[in-house]
Structure 1
C-alpha cells in the first residue's frame, strides 16, 4: 500500500529501534533522509542502514537549520510535493528522524503539509532523554513531580527560570547556550544533580562528570542535560 511513514529511529543505538520501525524500513520503496548541512552526514541513516533492503531508493534532502518557519517553508513545501508525487505513483515512502518524530522533529513540518493529502503513518522512537535515563539508571521524575522538557534556543535567563522553578527538567538543544548553562548550573550548585550526555547510544558516546571542564566547542550537537533535584550523582 502506498503511504508516507515517519519513523523515529531513537538516539543512536540501532538496537533501540522498535520492531514496527524495523518492519516498516524493510518494506519501503523510497527513504527520505534529512540533512541539516549540505555536505554533512546523516546520523539517522547510520542508525537504520543495516535494516534497509538492497534495492531501496535513498533520497537525501537538505532541510535548512533555521528557527524561522517562514524561512523553512519553501524547502518543506517542495519536498512535500515530491513525496506526494511518489505516493500517488504507488510507492511506500519513509522519512527517518532522530529520537521521536513528534518531538522537535523536522518531520512535523512535513506532516502539516501531507496529513490530509496522502495516507500517513507515524511510528514512535525512543527520545534521547528516555534512553539516557533508563540506560544510566537515572529516574526522570517520580510520584507527583512534573517533568519539564525545555528547548534551549532562547536566552539564558529563560533557561535559568525553568531550572529554578522545577525539580525535574530535561534541557534539549543545549549546544548554542551550553557554556552559559553550565555556568548557571554551577552558580546554583546544581551540577551534582545534572546528568550531561553527548551522542548517547553511539560509538562516540560521552557521559560527563560534574567536575569536568566544559566548553561548547568540544560538545556534540547531540547533547542532553537531565536535572533531577531528588537524585544526586
Structure 2
C-alpha cells in the first residue's frame, strides 16, 4: 500500500464477516491503528482483526475516552489525526480499525473529519463494514425492510416520552426501528413495549458476532441492565403482500 490512511470497518465481532477489501488492507498496511478506551486496554477492533495482523506491523493504540464532555473527546480526535498524519508523512501506509461500519456512529468518522481539516494533503479512503443490526437480523432470519418499509436506525432514547414519540413515528411511517446502545435502558424499555402491546414484535441482540452473543425474542430477555453493545429490532407491522 502507498502512504495514506485507510479506515476499515471490521464488523460487529465475527472475523468471518470482514470484507475481502478489509482483509487485504489490514494485511498490507505498515501501521495498524486501533481505538482503546484507556491506556493499556485491549482493542475490540484489533481483537476482531487479529488473525490478519502480523508481527512486522506496527500497532498504534489510539486513546478515545468514553466521556460525555466535549473537550476531551475533541482533543482525542485531534491527537489521533495528528498521530496518523505523522506516520503517513514518514512514508507509511496506515489502517485505522473501526468496529462495525466505519461511517455509522463511529469514532473513526470524527477522526477522519479531523484529518481532513488538520491535514488536508493526506490521502484517505474508507472501507465499509457489516453493522451489528444487519448481522443480527441475518442471524435470526428476520428481514430488516420489505417492499415499501422504511428503516429507522437510532440510539435508544434516554426517556420514555422520547421512545413513545419514536415508536409513534415508526408506526405511522411503517418504519422498522433499530434501537442501538440499549444497555441499561432495557430496564424500562421492555415494560414500555409491553404496555404498548408490541413486545412480541421485537427482537433483542447483544454482543453480536462474539462467542457470548445473545439473540432472542425481546419478550424472553429479563428487564435488567444489559451491556452497552445491545440492540433492539422492532417491527410494528408487516407488508400486506407476503408469501
Identify which range, 147-156 or 182-191, moves more after superposition: 147-156
- 2:132 & 2:183 partners in 1: Cα distance? 15
State the Cα deviation string for residues 69-109 of structure 1 (Å, max 9, x = none): 44311111112111111101000111111110100000011
SS of the counterpart of 1:59?
strand
CA contact (8 A) 2:151 2:176 kept: yes
Moved over 3 A (4+): 37-40, 67-71
Aligned residue in 2 for 1:157: 161
Give the TM-score, by structure 1 length: 0.92
Gapped regions of structure 2 (runs ≥ 5): 239-243
Q: Which runs of 5+ in 1 are unaligned?
A: none
Moved more, 206-215 or 125-134: 206-215
Match of 1:178 among 177, 186, 190: 186
- The answer to whether residue 49 in structure 2 is matched with residue 48 in structure 1 is yes
Alpha-carbon offset, residue 143 of structure 1: 1.4
Pick from 207, 211, 219: which aligns with 2:220? 211
TM-aligned CA deviation for residue 159 of structure 1? 2.2
Q: Once the 2 structures are TM-superposed, how far is the Cα of residue 178 of structure 1 from its aligned partner? A: 2.1
Name 2:241's counterpart in structure 1.
none
Mapped contact 2:12–2:132 kept (Cα < 8 A): yes
Give the TM-score normalised by the residue count of structure 2: 0.89
Q: Identify the residue that residue 131 of structure 1 maps to in structure 2.
A: 135
C-alpha RMSD of matched pairs (Å): 1.6
Alignment of 1:145 with 2:137, yes or no, is no
Q: Counterpart of 2:215 in 1: which secondary structure? A: strand
Q: Return the alpha-carbon distance in structure 1 between the equivalents of residues 53 and 123 of structure 2.
A: 22
**Distance (whole Å) between structure 2 residues aligned to residue 224 and residue 176 of structure 1:** 11
CA distance in 2, matches of 1:67, 1:43: 21
- Residue 213 of structure 1 aligns to a residue whose secondary structure is coil
Which has the larger displacement, 156-165 or 5-14? Answer: 156-165
Rate the CA distance shift 1:88–1:32 in 2: closer, same or farther, 3 A.
same
Alpha carbons 1:156, 1:177 under 8 Å: kept? no
Q: Distance in 2 between matches of 1:150 and 1:207?
A: 19
Q: 1:39 to 1:221 in 2, by over 3 A?
A: farther
Quick check: 2:136–2:215 contact (8 Å CA) kept in 1? no
> Which sits farther off after the overlay, 27-36 or 3-12?
27-36
**Structure-2 separation of matches of 1:118 and 1:184:** 48
* Structure 1 contact 171–226 (Cα < 8 Å) conserved: yes
Q: CA deviation at 1:220?
A: 2.1
* Contact 1:114–1:120 (8 Å) recurs in 2: no
Q: Give the match's secondary structure for 2:21.
A: helix
